């Protein structure tokens, strides 16, 4: 590999002192405490750092070592990878930065130039959860579905592969690739919009496709792709599922056990959510909401465990998977642990997929319990919303979402960024597959209460927790409570510490055994991603990619997220660090005077339905923004003048896709009337309540 002269000069003398990763493998990660080589540090994804220079007795002396501004102030979900003094981290729209891990100095940056209006194909912001590194190459999944291999020294593209099965469907990539036995593994997102899920393996050197494992069956007129699909097809009914896509996207979690040679994959929710539409209201619908074990060489199916048979709540099992060896009932068991969205903490035998335990870690109303013998949940009448709208615990935000949990083998505890976030599911049985870029849930568009007073009542149902869970005793040992949900992933370290960023803009250290808060600092932004620890030149660093956005701030920002600033920045800390955090840039904006246009009540009501069907997923239901994308009640007089042009695509490359395929000029006028009404509602509420206006940009 050659380093371009310009790049080498730009990187200064730094290259001289750095040895870039030659071969990254699991055994090295175990020994190599100073690096963070894999998404979860090691193949078992424990997110436990053996470093102990920073410990409970001195964590109070932790200070900022450096910061690095990421380009786009949208959702930041990346776990940095650190190898021999270089950090590789991603921001929104899959932009990769290589940094000097001791100083934060940029060595190179790679922008895959994802079209900004690609956003319409995603449910949950143009996020990226990080890169994989192997044999001198950095692998990134771009939001538009490309898998790209880069030269780790220069950022130059080595190869690109298109992971998208069907470009007439809304496929995205947000997850971090994993590299196992010379193959790069990547799945996709898009189940809210109607896609068929799968995992694909590519040769790490050439980018040639090695195998593809489908997670749900396709068109029944065609033969099943393999034995697993032959088995799965028997659990699906009717002729709608394959038209909708079926879902089951593999958008986040994977883990690997080299001894058993098993790759574990977390599978997502159904397309559409509503099983009544998807599968005539019956059938387990394999492999939705399942953990599937595969052979990494061939993609061959070995076993599966389905957490939510017949999934109908957006209960993904894509949440972080951790492998550990636990003493259970006097026997050493090789287990797999997951706290998926559905609210139960699962411990499985990872050799066989047999269920060991499943216990609720947050309030759950969709099921009474999980039967250990059959491995199946006992579902409740209260949880079935397909015959009529119901409030269900948890909702689509989950008892735990993608924010990674960690496991400390010293305390034996799992640290879960948990939350209570119920949802009101209103069914819509009339929905059929339409076209790419549109949501297909089999549920009516989410609407939130429309006054600040009503909203406060619903907000009070939302609670965030950090839970320390004992997977052997099957119970909570300690917890920290937060006012908001959507707090950050966790890191456990050998210094008896647990680190977590918070939705309310802090970065905090707790004692791992007792949960005592030992240190905190401001992050100037909501923090969601999982922190990491590494060492360079004998100094231990704790780092996190901070930044706010994603599903909750976009779709449910009104539940409190709007108070949070969104500033994308990598923060690295060390003992005695003296760097300063730049002051927050994004400020509160006063509500512009709404236009005096006369409003027609019928048009406002039509606009309410059209807005919540097509606009609310990103700009917030009931036109209440979440502080990341524009709150449309705050449109300026100039924007009010050009609103039809904006909907037609004038701002497509600023991230606002065109919607003229689904909205006519009359619809846009109705939506505009609704937005003016909502601006007037807010003006009235602010005057009556003296309430604080949400942060908008």
> Which residues are designated catalytic?
314
Shorter beta-carbon distance to Ca ion: residue 314 or 408: 314
**Least Cβ distance, residue 318 to Ca ion (angstroms):** 8
Shorter beta-carbon distance to Ca ion: residue 276 or 608: 276
What is the rounded CA–CA span in Å between residue 445 and residue 437? 15
DSSP 622: G
Shorter beta-carbon distance to Ca ion: residue 269 or 306: 269
The two three-digit tokens of residue 567, written as one number: 């500033």
Shorter beta-carbon distance to Ca ion: residue 252 or 681: 252
Shorter beta-carbon distance to Ca ion: residue 269 or 612: 269
Helices (H) and strands (E) in the chain, counts: 12, 39
* Contact assessment for residue 131 and residue 119, using Cβ atoms and an 8 Å cutoff: no
Shorter beta-carbon distance to Ca ion: residue 177 or 398: 398
**Least Cβ distance, residue 553 to Ca ion (angstroms):** 16
- Residue 122 Cα distances to 76, 203, 559, angstroms: 15, 27, 21
**Least Cβ distance, residue 559 to Ca ion (angstroms):** 17
**Least Cβ distance, residue 415 to Ca ion (angstroms):** 24
Strands 290-294 and 301-306: antiparallel
**Least Cβ distance, residue 341 to Ca ion (angstroms):** 8
**Least Cβ distance, residue 68 to Ca ion (angstroms):** 31
DSSP lists the bridge partners of residue 596 as none
What is the rounded CA–CA span in Å between residue 586 and residue 308? 41
What is the rounded CA–CA span in Å between residue 671 and residue 648? 14
Which residue, chain included where needed, has tokens 């609210």?
343
DSSP 4: -
What are φ and ψ of residue 118, in 5° steps?
A: -60, -20
Strand order in the sheet with 406-408: 406-408, 413-420, 463-470, 475-482
Shorter beta-carbon distance to Ca ion: residue 315 or 519: 315
- The per-residue b/e assignment along 144-181, b for 16 or more CB within 10 angstroms, e otherwise, is bbbbbbbbbbbbbebbebebbbeeebbbbbbbbbbbbe
**Least Cβ distance, residue 16 to Ca ion (angstroms):** 47
- Vertex 264: Cα angle to 259 and 266 (nearest 5): 165
* Contact assessment for residue 573 and residue 647, using Cβ atoms and an 8 Å cutoff: no
Kindly list the residues in this chain that would bind Ca ion in the complex (CB under 5 A).
269, 314
CA nearest to 164, candidates 117, 121, 127, 220: 121
Q: Which residues contact 321 (CB under 8 A, 6 or more apart)?
A: 45, 253, 254, 255, 264, 266, 291, 336, 337, 338
Shorter beta-carbon distance to Ca ion: residue 145 or 190: 190
**Least Cβ distance, residue 167 to Ca ion (angstroms):** 21
């Amino acid at each position: 590999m050659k380093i371009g002269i310009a790049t080498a000069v730009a990187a200064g003398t730094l290259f001289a002192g750095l040895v870039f990763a030659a071969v990254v493998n699991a055994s090295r990660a175990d020994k190599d405490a100073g690096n963070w080589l894999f998404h979860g540090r090691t193949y078992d994804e424990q997110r436990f750092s053996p470093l102990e220079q920073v410990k409970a007795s001195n964590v109070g002396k932790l200070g900022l070592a450096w910061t690095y501004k990421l380009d786009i102030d949208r959702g930041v979900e990346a776990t940095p990878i650190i190898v021999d003094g270089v950090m590789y981290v991603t921001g929104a729209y899959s932009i990769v930065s290589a940094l000097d891990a001791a100083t934060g100095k940029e060595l190179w940056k790679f922008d895959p130039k994802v079209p900004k209006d690609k956003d319409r194909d995603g449910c949950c912001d143009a996020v990226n959860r990080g890169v994989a590194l192997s044999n001198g190459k950095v692998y990134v999944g771009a939001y538009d579905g490309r898998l790209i291999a880069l030269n780790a020294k220069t950022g130059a593209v080595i190869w690109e592969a298109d992971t998208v099965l069907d470009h007439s469907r809304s496929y995205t990539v947000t997850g971090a690739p994993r590299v196992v036995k010379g193959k790069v593994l990547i799945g996709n997102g898009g189940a809210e919009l109607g896609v068929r899920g799968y995992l694909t393996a590519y040769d790490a050197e050439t980018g040639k496709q090695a195998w593809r494992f489908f997670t749900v069956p396709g068109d029944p007129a065609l033969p099943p792709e393999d034995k697993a699909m032959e088995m799965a097809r028997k659990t699906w009914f009717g002729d709608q599922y394959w038209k909708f896509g079926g879902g089951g996207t593999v958008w986040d979690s994977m883990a690997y056990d080299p001894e058993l040679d098993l790759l574990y994959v977390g599978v997502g929710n159904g397309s559409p959510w509503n099983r009544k539409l998807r599968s005539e209201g019956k059938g387990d619908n394999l492999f939705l909401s399942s953990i599937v074990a595969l052979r990494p060489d061939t993609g061959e199916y070995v076993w599966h465990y389905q957490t939510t048979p017949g999934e109908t709540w957006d209960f993904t099992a894509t949440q972080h998977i951790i492998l550990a060896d636990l003493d259970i009932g006097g026997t050493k068991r090789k287990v797999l642990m997951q706290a998926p969205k559905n609210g139960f903490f699962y411990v499985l035998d990872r050799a066989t997929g047999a269920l060991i335990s499943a216990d609720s870690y947050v309030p759950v109303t969709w099921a009474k319990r999980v039967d250990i013998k059959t491995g199946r949940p006992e579902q409740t009448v209260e949880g079935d919303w397909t015959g009529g709208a119901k409030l269900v615990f948890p909702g689509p935000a989950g008892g735990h979402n993608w924010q990674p949990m960690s496991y400390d083998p010293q305390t034996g505890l799992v640290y879960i960024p948990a939350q209570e976030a119920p949802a009101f599911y209103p069914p819509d049985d009339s929905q059929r597959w339409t076209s790419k870029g549109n949501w297909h849930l089999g549920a009516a568009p989410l609407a939130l209460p429309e006054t600040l007073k009503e909203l406060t009542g619903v907000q009070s149902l939302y609670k965030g927790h950090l839970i320390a869970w004992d997977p052997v005793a099957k119970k909570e040992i300690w917890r920290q409570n937060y006012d908001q949900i959507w707090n950050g992933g966790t890191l456990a370290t050998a210094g008896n510490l647990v680190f977590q960023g918070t939705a309310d803009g802090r970065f905090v250290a707790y004692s791992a055994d007792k949960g005592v808060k030992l240190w905190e600092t401001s992050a100037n932004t909501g923090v969601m991603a999982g922190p990491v620890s590494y060492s360079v030149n004998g100094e231990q660093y704790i780092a996190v990619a901070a930044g706010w956005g994603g599903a909750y701030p976009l779709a449910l920002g009104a539940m409190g997220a709007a108070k949070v600033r969104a500033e994308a920045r990598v923060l690295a800390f060390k003992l005695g660090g003296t760097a300063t955090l730049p002051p927050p840039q994004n400020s509160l904006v006063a509500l512009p005077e709404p236009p005096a246009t006369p409003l027609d009540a019928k048009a406002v009501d039509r606009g309410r339905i059209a807005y919540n069907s097509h606009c609310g997923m990103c700009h917030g239901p009931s036109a209440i923004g979440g502080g990341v994308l524009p709150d449309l009640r705050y449109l300026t007089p100039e924007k009010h003048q050009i609103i039809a042009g904006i909907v037609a695509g004038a701002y497509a490359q600023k991230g606002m896709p065109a919607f003229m395929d689904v909205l006519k000029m009359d619809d846009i006028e109705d939506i505009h009337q609704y937005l003016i009404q909502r601006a007037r509602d807010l003006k009235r509420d602010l005057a009556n309540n003296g309430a604080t206006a949400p942060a908008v940009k």
